Structures are given as C-alpha cells and as structure tokens.
Chains A and B, each alone.
Chain A
Amino acid sequence: MWVYDKKTEYPINIKRPDPRMAKLILTQYGGPNGELAASLRYLSQRYAMPNKESKAILTDIGTEELVP
C-alpha cells in the first residue's frame, strides 16, 4: 500500500506565475497521456511479470510516477 510523505521529490520554486504553463503541466500529470495514467498502467502490468526484477521495477516506477 501507499503512504504519503509531506514533501515533494524536488523543491518547487515558482518565480513567474504562468497559468498557461500550469495548465500544460497539469495535463502532463493528469491528462490522457500523463504520468498518472502511466503509473496505473505500470501498477497493473506488474501482476503479469514473471520475475522479481520486473515486479520490483514496475512497482517502483509506478510508485514514483503516482504522486507529484
């Protein structure tokens, strides 16, 4: 299962607010070809993996992509 860490993986420092860029980034995360969708695919595909290395890597990439 997943547990939330109250920190970001990389520090956020917005110097110039830009709503259009923000929209692009949000789509990159949550949109139809975004990280969120990719992470759920990784986490589903891992159940069919035949060895421990691939089970681990799909679990861990899926986990990394899951939450910004």
Chain B
Amino acid sequence: MDGKNELLEQIRATDFALIELNLFLDTHPSDENALKDFRMLAETREKLYRQFTQKYGPLKAVDGATSDCWLWINDPWPWDQMKWEELKGGMANVGLRQENRVPDKY
C-alpha cells in the first residue's frame, strides 16, 4: 500500500478525478456536489503528495532542494522505463554502454 508505485498510482487517480471536476466546475461554478468532491479530493491529494515527497523525493522542482542537495534532477524521470526500486539512471533508453555513462557523483 505504501510502495512508491502504489502511492503514485493513488496520486494519479486523485489527480484524474480532480482534473475532471476542475473542467466541470469551470462551466458549473456553483454546483455544490462538485465543489464538495473537489475540496475533499484536493485535501486527499495534498496528504498523498506530502507523503510521497517526504519518502521518495520531489515531484516538482520547487520541492527539489534540501540543505545540501539538488534532488530534482535525480533519476528516474517518468520516461525511464525501469523499476523504481532499481535506480540505475536512464541508460536503457538510449543504449549507451555502461562504461560511457556520466558518473552520478563527480
């Protein structure tokens, strides 16, 4: 339930509902049910987002800095088709050989 992918999937599901409600509310700004659902989901979203960010790093650049580290650039990026658990950088996508990689730490 609290694995990285599971948590991300929960955020995705919440975001999907929020986006649909957002579009609906743009043309029905005083629909009480939609407003209620939107606020409820926005709260859930914030909780999930905080949980994810604390545990697995930033989803947005503004959350990317710690006191001594710029976490934002860290792999994986969404198009790095790798399991979250085995972070090895995005080399698989471009077929660069292991020995030609730019090292993670200079």
Contacts and interface: CB of A to CB of B under 8 A. Distances in A.
B40 interface: no
The secondary structure that dominates the A interface is helix
Contact of B77 (A1, A48, A59): A59
Contacts of A60: 61
Contacts of A1: 15
A43 to B, nearest CB: 11
B57 interface: no
Contacts of B75: 52, 55
- The 10 A-B pairs at the shortest CB distance, nearest first, are namely A56-B73, A51-B102, A52-B73, A50-B96, A55-B77, A52-B75, A50-B94, A47-B79, A48-B94, A53-B73
